[in-house]
Structure 1
Amino acid sequence: MLRKPVVLITGASGEIGHGLIHSLAADADRPIITLDVKSLAPELGRLVAQEFIGSILDTGLLERILSEYEVDTVFHLAALLSTRSEFTPMTAHHVNVEGTMNLLEFAQKQGESHGRPVRFLYPSSIAAYGLPDLATKTSLGKVTENEWTKPTTMYGCNKLYCEHMGRYYAKHYKQLAAEPLAGKVDFRCLRFPGLISAVTVPSGGTSDYAPEMIHAAAQGKPYACFVRPDTRIPFMAMPDGVEALLRLAAAPRASLGHTVYNVGAFNPSAEEVRAVVVQAFPGAEISYQVDAKRQGIVDAWPADVDDAAARRDWGYSPRYDFERAFSEYLIPTIRSRYQA
């Protein structure tokens, strides 16, 4: 039986998955298959060739996909996110590390089978960084991909290790074997900042204080921000995150000088976010009630990232800066969500 060439998206039911499906579905020559523990919404399900409901830890299911399809691109989005990973580190390791290993091995087998490298797109995180103290953070400015990678959270450790695993599969896989086997996985990684979505409701993530302010204000509810007013980390609007993945996936291999790329867009302080929200919702009640533990995590992340390599190598250029992200995307979309 002739296997069908497809794109595989794991963790497709999340918002990055939604954006990817809508963009990729326009190419009728490259059908999409998805793997997630949850079903896609019906309007998304109609855009994909097949949904597989299951876990990335199920190697039997991956073998079934391998036998039925010729996967030439993988967007591996499935993960246990930062807050839950901190409460359940063993589960986080199983899902985030072992699950990614399963997908890398799957891609390796696919590449060996059809004789072409499988493009493997992997979203990493600013959590891969770990700065020793606030004074260091304040003095650094923009941080490059290879500096200060000593993560302080389980999620960050998982992401950094998977960056290295991807590089291993791409360049050094089974390097003692008689025949060269590396190069069957074309691993490409984005190290995302805080991603802010206007569509999904914040779920308690460590960088969710920014969208939480807007959601509370739009509902007329008071909000106590869990970080200090001067807290500063980089952010990106979700549509730019989706577009960055697509642009990196489409880039010629020869143009890529890095395996892992920083991407950023704007880095307001918490107080600057509050000011914009209060301007849009004049009656908003936004105060500060600092959670020392969560503050400590955010203080270990850079105030900004250097994404010059992404801009140079594959033309990364975010559409939304701070002002546009809030005035054109976040505030109007979230406001309309709660209007009667």
Structure 2
Amino acid sequence: MKNILVTGALGQIGSELVAKLRHMYGNDQIIATDVRNTGHEITRSGPFETLDVTDDKAMFEVAKRHRVDTVIHLAALLSATAEEKPLLAWNLNMGGLVNALEVARELGCQFFTPSSIGAFGPSTPKDHTPQDTIQRPTTMYGVNKVSGELLCDYYFHKYGLDTRGIRFPGLISYVTPPGGGTTDYAVEIYYEAVSQGRYVSFIDKGTYMDMMYMPDALDAVVQLMEADPAKLVHRNAFNITAMSVDPEAIAASIRKMMPSFALGYQVDPKRQAIAESWPNFIDASAAASEWGFQAKYDLDAMTQDMLSQLSSKEMLARKA
């Protein structure tokens, strides 16, 4: 990877991934793009282009001008937002993906796009969810993700395009606020623990989902992209996870550092239904065997770092 184009660069994953890639490969080699310019630091630390991924000609022009050899396509609507606006989700998520794949094909680029545990559905085995299993999601987001997995496989088999991808679990970060995902409660709970000492969860107790701390997710992207292609069997939809937790488990971990933390519930039926259609915990052995994936953070290690980082941000905000 020399010149890397990142779409959706101001999103939850993109903003942190761009920073990591610029640190690793050099600021000028990472071309960040997004549909808007919010003045975020990454718009100033290296090349940034305002780009609507549904505009195929504009995407090609940006990629060609910067002599891109790698495309990391992150631009998409997340699960809860996609369910509220399904046609927009289809047009953006699938239209943008096709455009990005075509740019990569025409320029001979390596290609990455994320999938999600949302690609599974109610008929998927809930426990130890296999790498290869039935996928019949009941959400537009899930339909987009399954379609994306198949489309990337098609481009690999049809055109020899070096496509790669990961099924992300819920991602937890102190850097970027939640952005419309079903697993966002697991981010909000830490923010509220620091600022309020309590949290009201929109996901019910006993609802287990796979989660991962953002540093592990970013490492996984880089590790997969740098992996020997000859060893990759699955390529576009590797299961990865670090932990399977419900709200009570996160609250118990928080109380080890904040004993007075209080957790309540006001369940959102729509997001609860989405969560219940996903696995309890997935099998990530294919990623481990094919490219050496291994998460570094467990629940308590993540909680300790999240609370420490967010407490520092809270103190800085008060001083400002």
Query: Do these two structures clear the TM 0.5 threshold for a shared fold by scoring above it?
Result: yes
Per-residue displacement from partner, 1:134-160 (whole Å, max 9, x unpaired)? xx63xxx21122213111111111011
Does structure 1 conserve the Cα–Cα contact (< 8 Å) formed by 2:131 and 2:286? Answer: no
Of 261, 268, 271, the residue aligned with 1:284 is: 261
Distance of 1:323 and 1:42 partners within structure 2: 30
| Counterparts of 2:67 and 2:14, CA distance in 1 | 20
Amino acid at match of 1:278: R
Task: Report the counterpart of residue 140 of structure 2 in structure 1.
Answer: 154
Pairing of 1:263-278 with structure 2 (within 5 A): 263-278=240-255
In 2, are the aligned partners of 1:123 and 1:191 still within 8 Å (CA)?
yes
Paired position in structure 1 for 2:67? 70
When structure 1 is superposed on structure 2, of 9-18 and 280-289 the one drifting more is 280-289
CA contact (8 A) 2:32 2:42 kept: no
Cα deviation 1:263-314 (Å, max 9, x = unaligned): 1001122211121223332333311222333222111111111111111111
Residue identity opposite 1:54 in structure 2: L
Tell me the equivalent position of 2:301.
Answer: 324
Give 1:63 shift.
Answer: 3.1
Deviation at 1:41, TM superposition (A): 4.2
Choose the corresponding residue for 2:29, options 7, 28, 31.
31
Equivalent of 1:205 in 164, 174, 181: 181
1:267 aligns to what SS in structure 2? strand
In the alignment, residue 288 of structure 2 is paired with which amino acid? R
Change (3 A) 1:37 1:267: same
Deviations 1:104-133 (A, max 9, x none): 01111111xxxxxx2111111110000249
Q: Give how far 1:336 is off.
A: 2.1
Give the aligned length.
313
Query: What amino acid is the match of 2:96?
Result: G
Q: Distance in 2 between matches of 1:67 and 1:290?
A: 47
Aligned counterpart in structure 2 of residue 170 of structure 1, from 132, 142, 156: 156
In the alignment, which residue of structure 1 is the partner of 2:95? 98
2:171 is aligned to 195
SS at match of 1:107: helix
Structure 2 CA distance, aligned partners of 1:65 and 1:314? 31
Matches within 5 A, 1:12-51: 12-25=9-22, 26-28=24-26, 31-39=29-37, 41=39, 43-48=41-46, 50-51=47-48
CA contact (8 A) 1:7 1:30 kept: no
**Cα distance between partner residues in 2 of 1:74 and 1:67:** 11
Give the Cα separation in 2 of the matches to 1:200 and 1:42: 11
Q: State how far apart, in whole Å, the 2-side matches of 1:17 and 1:292 are.
A: 29
Give me the whole-angstrom Cα distance separating, in 1, the residues matched to 2:296 and 2:216. 6
Moved more, 24-33 or 65-74: 24-33
**Whole-Å separation in 2 of the counterparts to 1:158 and 1:243:** 25
Shift in alpha-carbon separation, 1:45–1:254, aligned structure 2, 3 A: same
1:247 deviates by 0.5
SS at structure 2 position matched to 1:280: coil
Q: Which residue of 1 aligns with 2:4?
A: 7
1:52 matched residue in structure 2: 49
Equivalent of residue 241 in structure 1, options 217, 229, 241: 217
In structure 2, list runs of 5 or more residues that go unmatched.
none
User: Take 1:17 and 1:34, find their aligned partners in 2: how far apart are those partners?
Assistant: 8
Letter in 1 for 2:34: D
TM-score of the superposed pair, with normalisation by structure 2: 0.92
